[in-house]
A = this chain, B = another copy of it.
Amino acid sequence: MDLNQIRSELARFAKDRDWDQFHSVRNLSLALVGEVGELAELLQWVDDKEMSYFLESGGRERLGKELSDVLLYLVRLADVADVNLSSAVIAKLEENSVKYPVEKSKGNSKKYDQLG
């Protein structure tokens, strides 16, 4: 699945339903936060050591749904704000490999501005 395919699928979906009027940048940001909240709620009582069991007993499918909801709002938000998400992602991947050189960040989770 290509980011651009999802984008055009969602644009058509909104247009068919006359939803462009609701899809402002801030409306979609709050909608995205709402979906992230559902993701958090799904995982809130699942301790690290229970995660495998949770995923195998139905949790994986539910997690896939929540992640998709977040992704769909994210892609739609980018589209509405005229952000080229593919280009932005490529640029960010490059930025990250500069910020986190293998030799300095190997095996530690420090933020780039706290790397020695």
Interface residue range, chain A: 35 or more
Main secondary structure of the interface of A (DSSP, over half): helix
Number of copies: 4
Tell me the A83-115 residues at the B interface (CB within 8 Å): 83-93, 96-97, 100, 102, 105-107, 109
A11 at the interface (CB under 8 A from B): no
Contacts of A40 in B (CB 8 A): 29-31, 33-34, 37
A95: nearest chain-B partner, CB-CB: B65
Q: Please list the residues of chain A having a beta carbon within 8 angstroms of any beta carbon in chain B.
A: 1-4, 6, 9, 13, 16-19, 21-22, 24-27, 29-41, 43-48, 51, 55, 60, 63-65, 67-72, 74, 77-78, 81-93, 96-97, 100, 102, 105-107, 109
Q: A1-B90, A37-B38, A40-B37 are in contact. Are A74 and B74 (CB under 8 A)?
A: yes
